[in-house]
Amino acid sequence: MDDSCHRGQHALFDNQIAREWFSTSEAAQYLGVSPNALRIMVHRGHIASYKLRSRLRFRFRDLRSVLQRKGSDLWP
């Protein structure tokens, strides 16, 4: 492979690192649910959330984990 392909992969990897935290609306969109459904999942303990000031934030790895378990009974 040429260097341009490797640079593209590295840029994608760097971009994923930069997007570690998601807002409620961004996380809901990523999961394909409404923001309210996401809040219900948080309340039921199905997904980890973090309070930053007065706002909920979600880690990318937690969202990805929820998608991997999507077939289970955790999905609203």
Nearest-Å Rg of the Cα atoms of the chain is 15
Write out pLDDT tens, residues 38-71.
999 999 999 999 998 889 999 999 998 888 877 6
Q: How far apart are CA 6 and CA 47, in angstroms?
A: 34
The three-state secondary structure class of 2 is: coil
Q: Quote the mean pLDDT of the chain.
A: 79
Domains and CATH numbers, the chain: 20-76 (1.10.1660.10)
Question: Residue 9's Cα: distance from chain center in Å?
Answer: 20
Global pTM value: 0.66
